[in-house]
Amino acid sequence: MIPRRRVLALAAALPASLAAGPALAREPDIFTAGGRAIHGVDPVAYFDLGGPVEGGTESLVWRGAEWAFAGAGNRATFEADPERWAPAFGGYCAWAASRGYLAPTVPDAWTVHEGRLYLNASLRIRDRWLGEIDANIARGEANWPGILG
């Protein structure tokens, strides 16, 4: 048995970073599935074609995620102003962001509101999101990016 005084002395000698426990890893800025943002769906298509369109071989890496595009024109459009075309809250569920946590998204649960793309975890959650969209956006923006960790 180790004397109590010795245990306290050993604990005091530990670096503060070890005594506090392991640091939690920060989540990526952009939600990806299968290594691609928006599950490989073209972000520009939500605006130009009114919904999700599968990206093809045209792609680029932005903010650590691979973004796929239906064609070279959409790729160039995105590359010129990615903040405009990328989904809000890094492509994580906008409803979850408004509630202070992160959740994955599906490409079919989307909304373009006042020129910004928002994604949700499901169509049911999107309906809840739309019920108070302006308040939800304000709450999400207040939480973002702090909820990344």
> What angle separates helix 133-143 from helix 123-131, to the nearest 10 degrees?
100
Q: What is the pLDDT of residue 61?
A: 98
Q: What is the pLDDT of residue 37?
A: 98
Q: Is 83 among the domain residues? A: yes
At residue 3 the predicted structure's pLDDT band, cuts being 50, 70 and 90, is very low
Q: Is 62 among the domain residues? A: yes
Q: Tens of pLDDT along 107-139?
A: 999 999 999 999 999 999 999 999 999 999 999
What totals of helices (H) and strands (E) does the chain contain, helices first? 8, 6
Q: Is 111 among the domain residues? A: yes
Where are the strands (E) in the chain, listed by range? 32-33, 36-37, 58-62, 65-69, 110-113, 116-119
Average per-residue pLDDT for the chain: 88
Q: Is 55 among the domain residues? A: yes
Q: How many structural domains does the chain have? A: 1
Q: Tens of pLDDT along 65-74?
A: 999 999 999 9
Q: Is the pLDDT of residue 81 over 60?
A: yes
What range defines the domain where residue 132 resides?
A: 25-148
Rounded distance, CA 147 to CA 9, Å? Answer: 37
Q: What is the pLDDT of residue 25?
A: 81
Q: Is 95 among the domain residues? A: yes
Q: How many CB atoms lie within 10 A of CB 79?
A: 13
Q: Is the pLDDT of residue 87 over 90?
A: yes
Tell me the C-alpha to C-alpha distance, in Å, between residue 94 and each of 8, 36, 111, 149.
Answer: 47, 18, 10, 17
Q: Is 103 among the domain residues? A: yes
Q: Is 8 among the domain residues? A: no
Q: Is 9 among the domain residues? A: no
